[in-house]
A and B are shown apart, each in its own frame.
Chain A
């Protein structure tokens, strides 16, 4: 009898090797992930050929936005607390309630004149402190007559020790006049070594 069988093809694909590879990839990305920290001050840094990497720990970043307002950022909560203690010791900032202090350590980026810091930290501003940095009255003054940046940096230096690095992160369209003021104020407290944060670009050779 000429029976002929159609061989049934198995359409099942073995997914095991693929899932092996995927798990490996997943592990790699999970371990190397450093999440993008949201920065309330957005700046477009200029490109440079310099290839030095920025240190991650113990870094004080001074932000300068295109409007010339100056902000500061510290990398961790304990460092913020240390800075606050130092500021109180110098009587630059006083009379903060424990809640306000807590709020201060939770906001790594700050930048208000010293007389406005207290209202910035008041409880009714909970949850919108980062937005408040965009108002016109924000920004740490660093004129030669009213140099509060100097006080902040000095307090940070005393609190965090010699290993603290200072970095300036300014927008490429920021006027040089403002940068000069910041640099002059750093110079006046003998902070002569600092980093300028840039993007990588190739030299057009």
Chain B
């Protein structure tokens, strides 16, 4: 009897309560989640024409052709454009956004837009699991895209932004270039003559 009593060992519960640990880890996870910036800011790359005289001269002669579109951005998010050489009555009023200047540019660049769409469709199915192959495909796609953008019959766009416009206007207009797949564009100075032309036709202040 006494022997049996001795051998009865108390069963220890081997389970450890993890709840406080989970609580603490939850707090830490929340902290790190709130502190991380998963969304990095985006950038757009821009290459301005050099101010060396010879380069400028070449640019000038190139954009004096009939394929040129000049976009004037004035204060208060107003946009005007004209095609070809400036004359008295070819200035048109437009606006930012899908139905405004984008429609104009899309139409002028319809050929290239169509080609880019075909190119996109072509490369959509050409995914590769091989990393080097994937990279090569991307390079190839980029090269072809650049080729289309620099094609013979794509329009050249001259952008002139008034000093009274804001920075957002500039980004928006550069965005349109990207959306409409226009490869040849240049930012030029907004001259008083340009303002005078807008005033003459649309009677601005």
Considering the complex, which residues of chain B in the window 43-101 have a beta carbon less than 8 Å from any beta carbon of chain A? 43-52, 97-98
Majority secondary structure of chain A interface residues (helix, strand, loop or mixed)? mixed
Tally of contact residues, B, Cβ under 8 A = 49
Report the nearest B residue to A170, measured CB to CB. Answer: B167
CB contact between B19 and one of A15, A36, A203 (< 8 Å): that residue: A15
Contacts of A203 on B, CB cut-off 8 Å?
175, 179
Report the nearest B residue to A205, measured CB to CB. Answer: B98
Give Cα A45–Cα B44 distance, bound, in whole angstroms.
Answer: 12
The number of A-B residue pairs with CB atoms under 8 Å apart is 157
- B25 & A35 in contact (Cβ 8 Å cutoff): no
Contacts of B170 on A, CB cut-off 8 Å?
176, 179
Give Cα A34–Cα B22 distance, bound, in whole angstroms.
Answer: 24
Report the nearest B residue to A49, measured CB to CB. Answer: B175
- A172 & B166 in contact (Cβ 8 Å cutoff): yes
Contacts of B128 on A, CB cut-off 8 Å?
none
Give Cα A33–Cα B17 distance, bound, in whole angstroms.
Answer: 30
| Other 17 A-B pairs with CB < 8 A, given A49-B179, A54-B43 | A23-B25, A26-B29, A26-B32, A48-B44, A48-B174, A50-B178, A51-B42, A172-B168, A176-B162, A176-B163, A176-B167, A180-B161, A180-B163, A190-B52, A193-B46, A204-B97, A205-B98
Q: Which residues of B contact A (CB under 8 A)?
A: 15, 17-19, 21-22, 25-26, 28-29, 32-33, 35-52, 97-98, 161-172, 174-175, 178-179, 187
